Amino acid sequence: MSTLQDSQSPSTSEGMGLFERFLSVWVALAIVIGVLLGQFAPAIPEALSRFEVAQVSIPVAILIWAMIFPMMAQIDFSAVLGVRRQPRGLIITTTVNWLIKPFTMFAIAWFFLTVVFQPLIPADLASQYLAGAILLGAAPCTAMVFVWSYLTRGDAAYTLVQVSLNDLIMLFAFAPIVVFLLDISNIQVPWDTVALSVVLYIVIPLTAGYLTRRTLIARHGSEWYDNVFMKRIGPVTPAGLILTLVLLFAFQGEVILEAPLHIVLIAVPLIVQTFLIFFIAYGWAKVWKVPHRVAAPGAMIGASNFFELAVAAAISLFGLQSGAALATVVGVLVEVPLMLALVRIANKTRHHFPEAEAPAEAKG
């Protein structure tokens, strides 16, 4: 049903540029370039893989920091102080993100990868793919959600608070959730390896981002920080992502060439999970009569993943050539088309939600 409210929502072309709208195409191109590089110039990835310190590949670490640091540098942790402003939305999204999503991701991925697709995927690879899915499920989106929120006319203040809250929770919850779910999947990963990946790819970029933000705002002011510094480093994230994927697929070439169908099979549970989580949060918000401007971004935050972190953790825990790393990349491949489908659903169902706040949501 097309309504007046639908037409008031920004169109995809207004909210997203050419790069992000066609991210799946660029990811597919990165896969092709990476595979070709691995097949025809294997000396390049081999040479890069030799730069290791304490089993951490330095080129990979640099690319991953390039992906994650700009997002961390734009987090305003003081926004967390606004948690009382939209309590229902925050309860729904926080519960769905941290108490439901990791476990449904595990259950759905386990069911598809080790039961339904058992004849098509060898058991050891299925375990690796399951590990990748677990890593995707354990970290909610921290940056792209601002774009999804914009496309659904979401509440800016709520989105800011929820993202800051998730970033803080992620510091403490990501590692225990991942270790617990990998453990019950019989995938052994030493605690110290997980701790190292959390320190390398969450704590260090988060601390560096926070210190950079504080220092540069104190020195140059917040407008300079937003309009000059962030404008320069913001686009580094997608560039780092694409380069990481090229490098990753330079190592994954054999797997892709031998079993291209696996990409489709991995995508199935990820797609099911994305829709399920969206509808759990969105349905819960409907029952609690949460305004659409909170319900829509709240459901999207849960549905989308912090796939840079998942890719980084998969590489760090299982290696560039692992099935886990491949599974996290499939997450990147399907993310934008899936989220745009959810944006359409949210905009088409706007009329089912109250526009105004319920009394309990009054400003505090």
Partner 1 sequence: MAIEVSDRAREWLHKQGGVATVRLSPRHGCCGGRADIAVAEARTPDAPKRYTRLEHDGVVLYIAPTLLDQDLTLDVEGFLGLRHLFVDGAPLSR
* Given 122, 190, 235, 260, the residue binding partner 1 (CB under 8 A): 235
Contact characters 113-142, partner 1, x per CB under 8 A? ----------------------------xx
Neighbours of 55 (CB within 10 A): 9
Q: In the bound complex, what is the minimum distance in angstroms from residue 220's beta carbon to partner 1?
A: 9
Residue 186 φ/ψ region, left for φ over 0, alpha for ψ in the -120 to 50 degree band, beta for the rest: left
What string of DSSP letters covers 100-150? IHHHHHHHHHHIIIIIITTTTS-HHHHHHHHHHHHHHHTSB-SSTHHHHHH
* Given 57, 128, 237, 273, the residue binding partner 1 (CB under 8 A): 237
Select from 9-17, 30-38, 266-274, 277-285 the region that touches partner 1 (CB under 8 A).
9-17
Residues 303 and 277 sit within 8 Å (Cβ to Cβ) = yes
- Number of helices (H) and strands (E) in the chain: give both, helices first: 20, 2
Select from 37-45, 78-86, 198-206, 346-354 the region that touches partner 1 (CB under 8 A).
78-86
Q: In the bound complex, what is the minimum distance in angstroms from residue 280's beta carbon to partner 1?
A: 23
Q: How many chain residues touch partner 1 (CB under 8 A)?
A: 55
Residue 261 sits in the site that holds partner 1 (CB under 8 A)? no
CA distance 31 to 248: 8
* Given 1, 4, 7, 14, the residue binding partner 1 (CB under 8 A): 14
* Given 38, 140, 335, 353, the residue binding partner 1 (CB under 8 A): 335
Contact characters 182-221, partner 1, x per CB under 8 A? ---------------------------------------x
Q: What are phi and psi of 56, to 5 degrees?
A: -105, 120
Residue 162 sits in the site that holds partner 1 (CB under 8 A)? no
CA distance 50 to 73: 30
Neighbours of 147 (CB within 10 A): 21
